[in-house]
Amino acid sequence: MRRTQIVFAGLVLAWLCTAGPARAEFAAGFEAFRGRDYPTAAAELAPAATAGDAGAAILMALIAANGYGAAADPAGAVHWLELAAAAGDVPARAMAGSLLGIRRNVTMEFAAALALVAPRSQAGDAHARYLLGWMTANGLGVPRDEAAAASLYRSAADLGDAEAQNRLAAQYLTGGAIAQDEAQAAAWFTKAATQGHAGAQAALAYLYAAGRGVTRDDAVAAKWARAAGEQGLAEGQFFLAGLYASGRGVAEDQGAAFSWFYRAAQQGYGPAQFKLAEMYADGGAVPQDYEEAWFWLFRGAIASAGVVFNIEALRDRIEAHLDPAREAAVETRALQWVPAVPKR
């Protein structure tokens, strides 16, 4: 999903950089989108998109593709992209053409997958049962049924599948298909984390730091964040960096904080990139360097398109130390930068 987010965010940025004056309905929808009020954004943007506003259609595609405010809707994302393409948006036209081909084949592909997965699930294959649950939750090859998916996740989790345990834990944490139960969430995250599931390890770090479903214990939070971070999970690296920066669960160490923020930022993780920008602007843990600060601020803005961060003050503080030529040179370098693939 992360790749989809970046691709669709790129379309949004491309449109915003080339659009003319926004109409009132688009402006209202865009402001709601920036404020993460996705139901209001969709209500404002959908009529404009249907009437032929390419920018509104692209934002609707982003909402549908990433499940902002509701379940992800890939078919809906294609619909909105097709409207943007019909309105003349060139990037959307290219993307819509690609997705249309996928949509034409997806029914056949998932039917074939179901024919392989279902018998293995019935035979007691834990991971096949998890996959069947995932397909059921997303309506892929079978009718969408979240309650049935939760039952399949639970069965696969009981059989020891780490992915199912992690997914079941997430359902207990958020509620919905099953009743919210943070203690159960922590218990199932622990089972998955003990098997080496990096996402579950990062989730446990958060639960122990927040005291949700478990007694708050910053040292245990740091242990699980480190486990996830050492597996290359950016979220775990970022969380551990924050613990080092604040001295929670570990001795305060700004150098270690920078190192872990840097590892996450190198993977393209926007929040970590913003933290590097702040640290380079402040100096201390690293020598003050406004060009590096601008580089990471620029990269963070790209990685975090569609997510609201309050970076205006930091941006203004850095920009005051750079002339336009230096800014442009740094931005050129930032646009050529490619995230690193972590070793796991």
**Residues 29, 47: Cα–Cα separation, whole Å:** 10
Task: Please count the other Cβ atoms lying within 10 Å of the Cβ belonging to residue 314.
Answer: 18
**Residues 198, 219: Cα–Cα separation, whole Å:** 18
Per DSSP, helices labelled H in the chain are 2-18, 24-34, 38-50, 54-66, 74-86, 90-122, 126-138, 146-158, 162-174, 182-194, 198-210, 218-230, 234-246, 254-266, 270-282, 290-303, 312-319, 324-336
pLDDT tens by residue, 88-145: 655 555 555 555 544 445 555 667 778 888 899 999 999 999 999 988 887 877 888 9
Q: Count the domains in the chain.
A: 2
- The identity of residue 16, as a single letter, is L
The residue out of 150, 165, 195 marking a domain boundary is 195
Residue scoring higher pLDDT (115 or 169): 169
Which of 20-29, 156-165, 266-275, 290-299 is predicted least confidently?
A: 20-29
In this prediction, residue 304 has a pLDDT band, given cuts at 50, 70 and 90, of confident
**Residues 94, 227: Cα–Cα separation, whole Å:** 41
For residue 303, is it within any domain?
A: no
Q: And the tokens for 90?
A: 């060139």
Q: Which domain holds residue 55?
A: 2-105
Q: And the tokens for 182?
A: 């943070």
Residues 9 and 94 in one domain: yes
Q: Could you tell me if 19 and 48 are in contact, meaning their C-beta atoms sit under 8 angstroms apart?
A: no
Q: Could you tell me if 244 and 256 are in contact, meaning their C-beta atoms sit under 8 angstroms apart?
A: yes
**Residues 300, 259: Cα–Cα separation, whole Å:** 17
Res 1: pLDDT:
37
Res 92: pLDDT:
52
pTM greater than 0.75: no
* Average pLDDT rounded to a whole number, residues 251-261: 97
pLDDT tops 90 at residue 77: no
For residue 147, is it within any domain?
A: yes
For residue 32, is it within any domain?
A: yes
Q: Could you tell me the CATH number of the domain that includes residue 142?
A: 1.25.40.10
pLDDT tops 60 at residue 22: no
In this prediction, residue 185 has a pLDDT band, given cuts at 50, 70 and 90, of very high
Residues 101 and 128 in one domain: no
Q: Give me the chain's average pLDDT, please.
A: 83
Residues 86 and 33 in one domain: yes
By the 10 Å C-beta count (0-12 exposed, 13-18 middle, 19+ buried), 161 is classed as: buried
Question: Please, how many CA atoms are within 13 Å of residue 122, restricted to the half-sphere of its CB?
Answer: 5
**Residues 333, 256: Cα–Cα separation, whole Å:** 26
**Residues 318, 301: Cα–Cα separation, whole Å:** 14
Res 343: pLDDT:
60
Task: Please count the other Cβ atoms lying within 10 Å of the Cβ belonging to residue 261.
Answer: 28
Which of 7-21, 226-240, 250-264 is predicted least confidently?
A: 7-21
In this prediction, residue 29 has a pLDDT band, given cuts at 50, 70 and 90, of confident
User: Apex CA 289: angle with CA 286 and CA 294, to 5°?
Assistant: 120
pLDDT tens by residue, 195-229: 999 999 999 999 999 999 999 999 999 999 999 99
The residue out of 163, 195, 227 marking a domain boundary is 195
In this prediction, residue 11 has a pLDDT band, given cuts at 50, 70 and 90, of very low
For residue 297, is it within any domain?
A: no
- The identity of residue 235, as a single letter, is E
Q: How far is the CA of 69 from the CAs of 113, 114, 232, 233, in angstroms?
A: 29, 29, 29, 25
For residue 177, is it within any domain?
A: yes
**Residues 157, 160: Cα–Cα separation, whole Å:** 5
**Residues 190, 162: Cα–Cα separation, whole Å:** 10
